[in-house]
Every structure is written in C-alpha cells, then in structure tokens.
Structure 1
Amino acid sequence: MTPALETQMLVKRFGGLIVTNEVSLSVRPGARHALIGPNGAGKTTLINLLTGALTPSGGRILLSGEDITATTPFERVRRGIARTFQINQLFNDLTPLESVMLAVGERLGHGNRLFRPLAADRAVSEEAAALLERFRLADVMCLPTRDLPYGKQRLLEIALAIALEPKVLLLDEPAAGVPEEDRHEVLAIVRALPADVTVLLIEHDMDLVFSFADRISVLAAGRLFAEGTVEEISGDPEVKAIYLGDAA
C-alpha cells in the first residue's frame, strides 16, 4: 500500500546544527500516527518541513507516492495537507462561522467572487454551520473569535483544517494550553476525526497519545529513535528512559 505521507532520509540543517537527521517516516492511509519526543527533538521542525514552511537540506517528502519536496505550502494544501499550530493561528476579528465559511469557500473555489458576499452562498453557509455543530461550536459560532474560551479556539482551528477536506491532517499539540475542564471536548473531537483522514499527531499528553494512536514514532536529537504500536512503545525501556519516564 502506498503511504499517505512519507519522508525519505529527510535532513534539515541550520548552519552547522542538524535538527532533522535523515528521518525516514511512513504513515499509512487512514492512520492515527503519533510523533513524540522530548523538547528539542525536532518534532515541530519536521512538521514545518512537511508543510513547506521550511525547505529541506536533503531528502524527499512524498504525498500518496508523489514527490512534493519542492512544492509551495499553498500547493501542498491544494494537494491535501492541512495542519494546526502549537499556538493558535486564527482570525480574531471574525466569528467562527465567518472563519469556516472562508475556508469552505476557498476550497470550493469561491475565493475570487469579490463582489458576492460568501454569506449569500447558501451551500457554503450551511456546510460551515454543520461543521461547527459537529465540532461543538454551534453555541458560539456568532461570537468574535477573540472572545472564545481557549479550548473552543483549539476546536475552531481543527474545524478550519477539516473544512479544507484534507487527505492528511497534521495536529501540533492540539491539547496544549487547554484548561483541564475543557480538555475532554478537545480529546473527544480529535478521537472522532473522519476515518478517511490520515492523522499525524504531535503531542506531549500521553493520555491522548495512547488513547488515539495506532502507531507511534519517537524522535530524539533529530533522529527517528523508535517506532511501533502503543504497546511496543509504552513498554520500551529505552523510550521510557529518554522520554516517557515512570509515568508511562
């Protein structure tokens, strides 16, 4: 089976510092794949390479078998990669409904309709409202995004990514900074993501990782240190020593 997402000997150097060191990672279609590792392991750098925010110093990136190493971030979105960020990247002056309508409208090719408000497009507004309902945001969809609780903002960012109908979704610590009383909503939404979307999750919350992932890759010092099932990784003494610790 052709991997949904693959890296081959991927390298990223910043001067003399090697941050991504010959990483070869394969994510199967429909996978729930987690990427874990200690701080400074190179996880976010790897995500930035996958999305085109950074240019590799060596190696290749393939999406469904097609080499996308030289493509722009915009082209990668068009081809089916979407991401969320460790720190929210949202339209604070817009409402959730307006934000998701922009994402849906862009996906449908309505972004060039300069003289027709998106609100006049019933199909766009209905799809956006249904998506917000699914992401437990219906009760706040008409509030300014800046006024939403942080947990709701995290849900909105995931909803915006799903509105693009990606083949591969990269989630960069979706539960980071979310208050404990709101985490259950974020965790429930992450676990309920569409089965046909391949998900690569970066996360420090081991409860989320172990309840979500069907495969785990461990980065350490920019290298792929270990890979396996939840049972294999949680029981690996070397992984525990560098990252998981006694809490595992």
Structure 2
Amino acid sequence: MSFALQTRGLKRRFGAFIATDDVSLKVNQGARHALIGPNGAGKTTLINLLTGVIPPSGGEIFLEGENVTQTLPYRRVQKGLARTFQINQLFTPFTPLESISLAICERDGGGNAWKPLTQYSHVIDEAAELLTRFGLGSVMGVRSSVLPYGKQRLLELALAFASRPKVLLLDEPAAGVPEDERHEVLDIVSALPSEVTVVLIEHDMDLVFSFADRITVLVAGAIFAEGTVEEIARDPRVKSVYLGENA
C-alpha cells in the first residue's frame, strides 16, 4: 500500500540531544492526521524534517511512495508537499494578490514572474479566485503587513494551497489568532478539499478532535501513542501525559 506520507525510523540528533527518535509514521491518502504532544515533543522538528528544512540523522521519508529523504525542499514542494509555519512567513510589503500571483507563477515555472502582473491575466484570475475561497477577497489589494492577524494566517494557508499540494502540513494554523477571528481560520481549515492530505499540528484539542480522523501523539521526540480520535481520547496514558484527566 502506498501512503501519502511515510517515515521509517526517522531520527534527528543535535549533539547529544535526540529531537526525533526513530519515528515511523504512516499517513493515508486524503487523511486528516493530527500530531499532538507537549511542548518540546519534537512536532515542529518532525515537520522540518519532512519538508527538508533540516536533514535527518537517520531514517527515510517517502512522499506517495517515492523516497524524498535527500530531495531538496523546493523539489519536495514541486512534488506536492507544502506547509505553513507556526510564525507567519509572508512578503509583508506585498498585497495578497501580488503574493499569490507570484506563488502561482513560481509553481508554473517561474521565468518572467517579475514582469508586471497586468501581463498575466490568467494568473490574476486564479489568484483572485483562490483569495476569495480563503476569505481574503475583500482585502486582496491591501498590503499584507496591515492585515489583521487572522487574515495573515489565512494568507499563509492560501500561499501553501497555491502550489496545488497533495500533502499539506499545517503547523498550528490558528496560533496567536484573536478569538473573534479564530472561527474563520478554523472554518477554512475544515473546508480544505478532501483530496488533499492534511497533517495538522495543533494544541487546541477542540479543533483536533473535530478535524482529525487519526492522531499521533509525540513525547520526547518519539511516537507515544497512535490511533483514531476515540482511541486517543480514552487512552489513559495520553490523558496522563498530555490531555489531562478531564479531557
């Protein structure tokens, strides 16, 4: 069976510190798979390994059955692996329309992407449609630096989606978003197309339990437990180390 995303014995050491400890993960095609665990459990390190930001100390990574362990980060994006970040990584002087248009140009081969965007009507049309889909239609011409933080998070989601990912890694998409803007981010995440496999890191258990069909719990860089939402919610070991007895 070919999985959308798989690791075998994935390890990462920083000197004597073991950040990722023999992680073997299987994510099914079209899954909504959550990674949870205490602070320092190695969740973001795992995402950085999957995307090639840092190299593993051992083990292998497979994207739709293809070994991408040594593949450069931008090549992984081209192969269908995209991510968002815990802290926004935006082109803040640009408008959402400019940012998404450039992302589309890069996806389609780059080349003369820095020509005036007025020469790329099909790109502008696609960008505008995507921004509307992500709740940004009314602010597509506003400089990104002055957008409300919730809109900035939505823009980062839209940027990741502009690459047409097969697998989308979301690192705490609602982190830092004010409560009155949070519902919009959560609604967009929940409405992501079913054909896109989503791996979600999140501390908000309400979001995790409503979104995920499978959960992996990381503790000290290793897989501590794995199963369906129901299995994880009633696992006494997980309650003890992470969820708490009142979960």
TM-score using structure 1 length: 0.98
Matched pairs, number: 247
CA distance, structure 1, for counterparts of residue 129 and residue 138 of structure 2 = 12
Alignment of 1:111-130 (within 5 A): 111-113=110-112, 116-130=115-129
- Provide, for residues 150-189 of structure 1, a one-character-per-residue CA deviation record: whole Å limited to 9, x for no partner: 0000000000000000011000000100000011000000
CA distance in 2, matches of 1:105, 1:193: 22
Cα pair 2:233 2:239 within 8 Å, conserved: yes
Distance in 2 (CA, whole Å) between partners of 1:197 and 1:115 is: 29
Question: What is the distance in 2 between the residues matched to 1:139 and 1:3?
Answer: 38
Partner of 1:69: 69
**Contact 2:32–2:197 under 8 Å retained in 1:** yes
The answer for the alignment partner of 1:173 in structure 2 is 172
Report the aligned-residue RMSD: 0.9
* Aligned 8 A contact 1:105 1:118 in 2: no
The unaligned stretches of length 5 or more in structure 1 are none
Q: Using the aligned pairs only, state the percent identity.
A: 66
Equivalent AA in structure 1 for residue 149 of structure 2: Y
Amino acid in the other structure paired with 1:174: P
Is the 8 Å Cα contact of residues 102 and 113 (structure 2) preserved in structure 1? no
1:89-108 to 2 correspondence within 5 Å?
89-108=89-108
TM-score, normalised via structure 2 length: 0.98
Going from structure 1 to structure 2, the CA distance change for 1:232 and 1:122 (only over 3 Å counts) comes to same
Matches of 2:114 and 2:15, distance apart in 1: 48
Give 3-state SS (helix, strand or coil) of 1:13's partner: strand
**1:114 shift after superposition:** 5.7
Matched ranges for 1:48-87 at <5 A: 48-87=48-87
Distance in 2, matches of 1:50 and 1:115, equals: 30
Gaps of 5+ in 2: none
SS in structure 2 at match of 1:201? strand
Partners of 1:244 and 1:179 lie apart in 2 by: 23
Residue in structure 2 matched with residue 190 of structure 1 by the alignment: 189
Amino acid at match of 1:196: E
Provide the residue aligned with 2:32 in structure 1: 32
Structure 2 distance, partners of 1:18, 1:83, is 24
**Residues 128, 247 of structure 1: CA spacing in aligned structure 2 closer, same or farther, 3 A cutoff?**
farther
- AA aligned opposite 2:96: P
Distance in 1, matches of 2:195 and 2:62, equals 18
